[in-house]
A and B are shown apart, each in its own frame.
Chain A
């Protein structure tokens, strides 16, 4: 089969001008990608081995920037906050999304409305999502304060308190991205074969048994893909934090992306920031590829 398709591919090649066609068709895309993505990647690697002053390279420092990262307490702290943020947000999103998807598996009145409304949070511009949550959390003008005052309480302190601000950021992420989990998992549930479930019903299996023995094991690959996708994205979260808290109060919500951005553009440590971002890129790539390998193994078994 593979061989036949291959032979056909070659035959399609044609002659004359057609022979150059694959090159002509690939060239524009590859050129843009090489110019605006690959060259900068290479340039970023170079920049990460240099020291800069006023935005210009002044000397080669080899791998010193990379070594320095691991004794930089601010970097380590930002990394730790990012890991906590990603782990908490993605777990909540997976559990809530799965529960919602199971809930919506049977058609009922209102499900289309529900699905339509659930699309909204994930398509709204992240900057606007952050504005929405600032308007909810703000101590003087926020919804929580208004609600609290309506029932006779005082101002809500969210963004001024380190722990509350961090929780507030997780809540924002869960609000924005649970719908994506939900949609992916619902599609996964809908594509499961019917027979095993009918057999289980004939055998009189309870809802929990069906879930534990059938639904969950069969959904594992889809769940894994959804979690990997969200984890990769969550690692790069920037817009929402930049607008909501700018990383504060103190360092409570300073994710790695914010720290890197400030290092580069506020403190002008271009080389050091480049090394930081290359490190993050390698971590995410390693994560992604090990997840792909893991999925292949699940598929094979």
Chain B
């Protein structure tokens, strides 16, 4: 009986620790700046949606969200296609020169290096290509990061699919690529989904490169745009909180929707 009580108490405590900060964000977003700084209330006494309206009418939050969606969609989609093909080639073909067995390690090494390391040269590259503050510059950068990740993930998924199935299809007259597209790819669909989910999470949340590579609402992503609301002399706490809520909402919703894949994908690589 007492272990059960301890369990309930612990569960409630953990939930409170996780949820209290989120409660504070949401509740602050529903207060006026006056109520926030002068009254210091624990819940919104006069709830208002003004902060949200202001974000979209005065602070161009709509374009930040659009930019985020466009950039995330294209960089993840391109990386998935290109990464799946590359991973397949690594797993199933004999590669030329010294590439056999090395491409995977090479990409893994690139993944381990902290992104800050290439921040400056990528900035200089985009500057010289005239791609600063454009969708294309961000998409190119994020696609490159996502490709290393997709190849690495998809490699392990393809390895688990028996080669006999493709051989059977080829005996039946399918081409090599046809066998890949019609047999292997559908079998690897759960792996593709898990990979896509991670790529979306990481890309949607990325801040550092967005900070260096964008400067106006033309290309600023949501995290980047949110950061511009901060750091003025008078902090507009209410807008900041509302921006936080809107920034967190889509990705949390997405994550909860795909929860099962998320946990599986997260832990698979680590436990193996």
Same complex origin of A and B: yes
Q: Is the CB of A9 within 8 A of B24?
A: no
CB-nearest residue of chain B to A29: B86
Residue from B90, B151, B247, B252 in contact with A127 in the complex, judged by beta carbons closer than 8 Å:
B247
**Do A284 and B17 form a contact, CB below 8 Å, given A9-B93, A43-B125?**
no
Asked if A35 is at the interface (CB within 8 A of a chain B CB), the reply is yes
Residues of A within 8 A of B110 (CB): 33, 37-38, 41
For B176, what are the chain A residues with a Cβ–Cβ distance below 8 Å? 12, 14, 18, 21
Q: Mark A62-76, 1 if CB is under 8 A from B, else 0.
A: 000000000000000
A-B contact count (CB 8 A): 287
Contact of A281 with B21 at beta-carbon distance under 8 Å, contacts A119-B256, A131-B243, A140-B37 already known: no
Contacts of B167 in A (CB 8 A): 12
Q: Nearest residue in A to B146 (C-beta to C-beta)? A: A32
Q: How many residues on chain B are close to A (CB under 8 Å)?
A: 100
Nearest A residue to B43, CB-CB: A146
For residue A147, give the distance in angstroms from its CB to the closest CB of chain B: 7
Task: List residues 38-59 of chain B with CB under 8 A from any CB of chain A.
Answer: 40-42
| Closest Cβ neighbor of B204 among chain A residues | A125
Q: Among A160-168, A193-201, A228-236, which stretch is in contact with chain B?
A: A228-236
Q: How far is the CA of A136 from the CA of B21 in the complex (A)?
A: 7
Q: Are A281 and B113 in contact (CB under 8 A)?
A: yes
Say yes or no for B168: interface residue by CB 8 A criterion.
Answer: no
Q: In the complex the two chains form, is B247's CB within 8 Å of A236's CB?
A: no
Residue A249, interface by CB 8 Å: no
Chain A 126-148 residues near chain B, CB threshold 8 A = 126-128, 131-136, 138, 140-141, 143, 145-147
- Chain A residue numbers with a CB within 8 Å of B201 are 123
A128 touching B259 in the complex, CB below 8 Å, given contacts A40-B122, A138-B237, A284-B113: no
For B204, list chain A residues within 8 Å (CB): 125
Q: Which residues of B contact A128 (CB under 8 A)?
A: 25, 223, 226, 244, 247-248
Check if B85 sits within 8 Å of A26, measured CB to CB.
yes
Q: Is B193 an interface residue (CB 8 A)?
A: no
Partner of A175, one of B17, B109, B112: B17
**Chain B residues with a Cβ under 8 A of chain A:** 7-8, 10-11, 14-15, 17-22, 24-25, 28, 36-37, 40-42, 78, 82-83, 85-86, 88-90, 92-96, 103, 107, 109-110, 112-125, 127, 140-141, 143-145, 147-148, 151, 163, 166-167, 170, 175-177, 201, 204-205, 207-208, 211-212, 222-223, 226-227, 230-231, 235, 237, 240-241, 243-244, 247-248, 251-252, 254-256, 259, 262-263, 266-267, 270-271
| 10 closest A-B pairs by CB | A187-B267, A36-B144, A40-B121, A29-B86, A22-B93, A236-B114, A281-B117, A43-B121, A123-B255, A25-B89
Can you list 10 A-B contacts (CB < 8 A)? A25-B89, A40-B124, A123-B262, A131-B243, A131-B244, A140-B37, A141-B37, A175-B18, A236-B115, A284-B112
Given A125-B223, A141-B40, A141-B237, 5 more A-B residue pairs with CB atoms under 8 Å apart are A36-B125, A38-B110, A121-B18, A184-B271, A277-B120
